[in-house]
Amino acid sequence: MQALRSEGSGKRMAFSTVISFSVAAPPPTIYLPRNRLPNLRLFPSSIRCCSSISVRNQSKQTQQQFDLKTYWTTLIGEINQKLDEAIPVKYPEQIYEAMRYSVLAKGAKRAPPVMCVAACELFGGNRLAAFPTACALEMVHAASLIHDDIPCMDDATSRRGQPSNHTIYGVDMAILAGDALFPLGYQHIVSHTPTELVPEPRMLRVIAEIARAVGSKGMAAGQFLDLEGGPNSVDFIQEKKFGEMGECSAVCGGLLAGASDDELHRLRRYGRAVGVLYEVVDEVLEAKMTKGEEGNGKRKKEGKNYVAVYGIEKAMEVAEELRAKAKKELDGFMKYGEKVLPLHSFVDYAADRGFSFGDSTNHPGGGGGRGGEEEEGLDQLPAALLCTIISKLDVASICSCAATCKIFRSCASHILTFLPNFHLLDAAPSIGSLTPLLTLHNPFLTSLKADCSRLDDSAIPLLIRPSLHELSLHNCTDFTGKLLSDIGAKCSRLRYLYLGSVAEKRARAVHVSDLEELLTGCQQLEALSLMFDVSSFLRHNFARAWSSASEKLTSLQVGYVSSVMVTEMLRPNAGPHQSSIFVRPSILSGILKLCLSVDYITDTMVGTISSNLLSLTHLDLQDAPLIEPYLTIDLTNSGLQLINQHGKLRHLSLVRRQEFCITYFRRVNDLGMLLMADKCASMESICLGGFCRVTDSGIKTILHSCSSLYKLRVFYGTHLTDLLFHDISATSLSLTHVSLRWCYLLTNHAIKNLVSNTHLKLLDLRDCRNLGDGALRAINTLPVLKILLLDGSDITDLGLSYLRGVVSSVLSLSLRGCKRLTDKCIPALFEGSSRLQLQHLDLSNLPNLTDSGILSLARLRVSIAELRLRQCPQIGDTSVMALASMKVNENSRHGCNLRLLDLYNCGRITELAFRWLNKPYFPKLRWLGVAGCVHRDLVDNLTRNRPFLHVASHAEELDQSDNLHSFYMHDYDEVDELEEWLQGGDGGPDDVDMMDAEDDAELF
């Protein structure tokens, strides 16, 4: 039934909010009720209170030509935008968020403001003059609903298709939000109504009318009698609670346009009749839906509505009388011609509910329509089958699926009670969005991953579950150390833990006692990643805390810690009453993988790690010195000689980043490489960054000594030349990953020798500026190449055409800063290529790339997920329009595949482009880069309209995982579980396609 409300509220306090469908598509995160919704096909889609409708003195044909749905939905879009601008988030943020939560609810139909605008336009008023009052009416209406829902009133748990305000923010905050909305509405009228269109006396009368409607003689009186009860009180309650808002809305519109007193009286009677009519029909529809059902969770007060007092048949008669009364009042406005049609149509809609705001077509008076047929077909399928299929999706897809129909919504609600994995990293949900999804009791939840950038300590009860084995919380900037201590207290089964950016906001702190509680409570931990600064902990307490760590811990990653703290943490100490002969074993002795970011990589720290971690197989160290290190706090040849003392190391990464100053490992030369190579014959992966004094001889020593090596990364190899790979074909190496960044002396000859390793999958040659087209011709011989990074090289459009042989298999291609490339590089690369697998394309900082090049990209239908165009001065609005309109194939949506779009500092982006960046274009977009200083207001508006879009406006790189201590990689989508399941793949060793997919994922 189209007209049934989805909210499970009790009494509503005013006119509207019956249908919870929204004009725009619902957001990815929605409210999923526990109980399965009834099969709504059993009920009629509308209540016909009479067999015929006529408007006196007006032809039926003229009335039928008026499209109320289009008129209404158009106004909703404009009003929603005005409301969004009227309630920005300010201090105190939580009150404003609670206000916005109810006012901007997607299920609101904006009946009071729409009626106000229609009444204003009836008398020749300007729509712009009516918008401030229309917004104020919606604020006041939302405030009344918030107060109506709290436990001491009607105790409703949902409203407008989402949890009620007090359910999300608490009763105290809900009361404050409602209290704040009333005066905000009055203030908005005064500050935003144009005085040249509305004289101040009219404005004062509008404010007085709203105050009367919500005051002690208006809706408050109706609510009072609704609570207290009384004989024959139903008429009074209905007129006050529901008629007052309709009356006020119509009268305010007339006041704004200067209607006469007689016309205002007619509007008053009309609005009251429509408001009560709306509620009576609602009660009839709800009674028919719930007839014969028990325990549906809806609390109705006996004797407080027409159906309960008179029965359904009598209530329908009352509805017909109200419709006739409203139509009679409109007879006095026939002199205004077609301007009265919207008010006429409101009456018919209130009685018949001839359309739904979520439908694409209008089916008046009857059931059916394509959507109903599809839902009817779904209803014939076993629920267990639907749940099995939907359970293969990720959380975001489950929520999107639930928004399509009631059957999927019921399945999603059921699935969330047993879903083992809850992974939501693409979007950053608020506490209001997350609560409906995670409050459901789910004892089977074992893995939870979330972006917490919009959460704080209040979300801890939602996130921390005793059943968890894996917990990954990113961007926890607004959390405190309570997060760590609560995890230790409640998650004793936890095996894998990742915490990112904890307490990075001002006034947030993590204490060493919180860390100690975490380590003491989680004795099953196998992998721990603390990706935040722990250097502020007291050194002796920090070492003591780790003594209680799980003996099963094999992997440890720390965002930032001082080298002295690492040394003291790992170095074994003699007991207080023991001689130096009795030394307790080192803590963390079972560690296999250690990844640390420190202030300085020193000989002492390297030696302590190598000597005390007996089983270490993976060592990843990086530093970023504030000053040039002196001898005692630097790495030397002697330190390299201490690496791999127990011979088990397989992966080594030593990187000095130039984040604060230009500095290198100046005390290491080729001799250090020779000393290290003697103990690293079994090494499989080596990354060396910042060894500026190491030459070809040093790196070649490693290549010839490490026969199992397949990953080689060298950064800032300022002395490396073409001789590095001169005799690589004479070795037994089979390199698959090679990264040579900032190696300025390498030329095409080095690459021609390197490609003798035909199994190369990743080739990173960024900032090797002497590479040209000859290198591309050599690269074209690599049959399994997946990632190619050529930033800053001296290649041309013609040279890119040499890559056509391999481009079909490449997943990621970066051409950033290749200054000689023009628009012709796009067809040169992609023209004639079919079945492209390309997902990531970087065309940033190309001064000669224009909109024509992006038009070529759209014309060739290159299906990319990430496109970077930052710092391209000739890229403008046309490129955005082309990408928004691009279809990968005939069955896809416009701009459907783009997940990331970086337009930072593109010289010709204007306001027009931002219109195309709004919904419904780019439906999958999660990351957007723009120049915020130029388009601050537009950026803020876009952020409000697309809350799950990460908008970067301060030149930061988007979704950047390119750290020097690890391979260049982007977050690559996991293999789709649903697709795998449908294809019957079990992921076994015989599944060759799945193995290939896993290999591709490893690259990223």
The whole-number pLDDT of residue 696 equals 96
- Minimum mean pLDDT among 456-460, 662-666, 914-918: which range? 914-918
Is residue 206 situated within a structural domain? yes
CB 860 within 8 A of CB 853: no
The whole-number pLDDT of residue 196 equals 85
Q: What is the CATH number of the domain that holds 900?
A: 3.80.10.10
Is residue 275 situated within a structural domain? yes
Distance from C-alpha of 598 to C-alpha of 593, rounded to nearest angstrom: 16
Residues 6+ apart with CB under 8 A from 916: 877, 880, 881, 884
Q: How confident is the model at residue 120 (pLDDT cuts 50, 70, 90)?
A: very high
Query: Is the pLDDT at 24 greater than 50, yes or no?
Result: no
Residues 340 and 403 reside in one and the same domain = no
Is residue 987 situated within a structural domain? no
Q: How many CA atoms lie within 13 A of 921 on its CB side?
A: 15
Strands 162-163 and 927-929: unpaired
Predicted TM-score (pTM) of this structure: 0.63
Residues 359 and 387 reside in one and the same domain = no
The whole-number pLDDT of residue 979 equals 44
CB 284 within 8 A of CB 309: no
Only one residue has tokens 């009361």, namely: 175
Q: Is pLDDT larger for residue 302 or for residue 362?
A: 302
Query: Is the pLDDT at 934 greater than 50, yes or no?
Result: yes
Residues 391 and 276 reside in one and the same domain = no
409: exposed, middle or buried (Cβ count in 10 Å: 0-12, 13-18, 19+): buried
CB 301 within 8 A of CB 226: yes
How confident is the model over 969-994, as a mean pLDDT?
41
Residues 258 and 321 reside in one and the same domain = yes
Distance from C-alpha of 553 to C-alpha of 590, rounded to nearest angstrom: 7
Phi-psi region of 250 (alpha: psi -120 to 50; beta: other; left: phi over 0): alpha
Residues 115 and 218 reside in one and the same domain = yes
Instruction: Determine the structural domain holding residue 231 and report its residue range.
Output: 64-290+302-367
Query: Is the pLDDT at 132 greater than 90, yes or no?
Result: yes
Residues 362 and 407 reside in one and the same domain = no
Contacts of 660-664 with C-beta under 8 Å, sequence gap 24+, read: 660/624, 660/625, 660/626, 661/625, 661/626, 661/627, 661/628, 663/625, 663/627, 663/628, 663/629, 663/690, 664/690, 664/691, 664/692, 664/693, 664/716
Residues 306 and 408 reside in one and the same domain = no
State both tokens at 565.
């703290």
CB 637 within 8 A of CB 664: no
Closest CA to 347 of 361, 328, 367: 328
Residues 203 and 327 reside in one and the same domain = yes
Q: Kindly report the backbone phi and psi dihedral angles of residue 741, in degrees, each rounded to the nearest multiple of 5, phi listed first.
A: -105, 140
Q: How confident is the model at residue 895 (pLDDT cuts 50, 70, 90)?
A: low
pLDDT in tens, 196-235: 889 999 999 999 999 988 887 778 777 776 666 655 567 7
Structural domain count, the chain = 3
Only one residue has tokens 């190696």, namely: 743
Is residue 214 situated within a structural domain? yes
Residues 198 and 226 reside in one and the same domain = yes
CB 138 within 8 A of CB 110: yes
pLDDT in tens, 275-294: 888 888 887 877 776 554 44
Residues 157 and 223 reside in one and the same domain = yes
Residues 6+ apart with CB under 8 A from 289: 1, 4, 38, 40, 43
Query: Is the pLDDT at 373 greater than 50, yes or no?
Result: no
The whole-number pLDDT of residue 960 equals 58
Distance from C-alpha of 63 to C-alpha of 342, rounded to nearest angstrom: 9
Distance from C-alpha of 924 to C-alpha of 839, rounded to nearest angstrom: 14
The whole-number pLDDT of residue 294 equals 40
Q: How confident is the model at residue 943 (pLDDT cuts 50, 70, 90)?
A: confident
Distance from C-alpha of 455 to C-alpha of 221, rounded to nearest angstrom: 39
pLDDT in tens, 530-572: 999 998 887 778 888 998 999 999 999 999 999 999 998 888 6
For the chain, what is the mean pLDDT?
81
How confident is the model over 804-821, as a mean pLDDT?
95
Q: Is pLDDT larger for residue 975 or for residue 235?
A: 235
Please give the C-alpha separations between residue 604 and each of 237, 609, 644, 646, in angstroms, as whole numbers.
Answer: 81, 9, 14, 17
Is residue 167 situated within a structural domain? yes
Q: Is pLDDT larger for residue 316 or for residue 422?
A: 422
Residues 196 and 332 reside in one and the same domain = yes
Q: What is the CATH number of the domain that holds 80?
A: 1.10.600.10
Is residue 711 situated within a structural domain? no
CA 911 to chain centre: 24
The whole-number pLDDT of residue 961 equals 44
State both tokens at 379.
């209803």
The whole-number pLDDT of residue 933 equals 66
Q: Is pLDDT larger for residue 417 or for residue 208?
A: 208
Is residue 580 situated within a structural domain? no
Distance from C-alpha of 249 to C-alpha of 740, rounded to nearest angstrom: 69
How confident is the model over 346-370, as a mean pLDDT?
55
Closest CA to 655 of 665, 647, 641, 640: 665
Residues 182 and 242 reside in one and the same domain = yes
Is residue 898 situated within a structural domain? yes
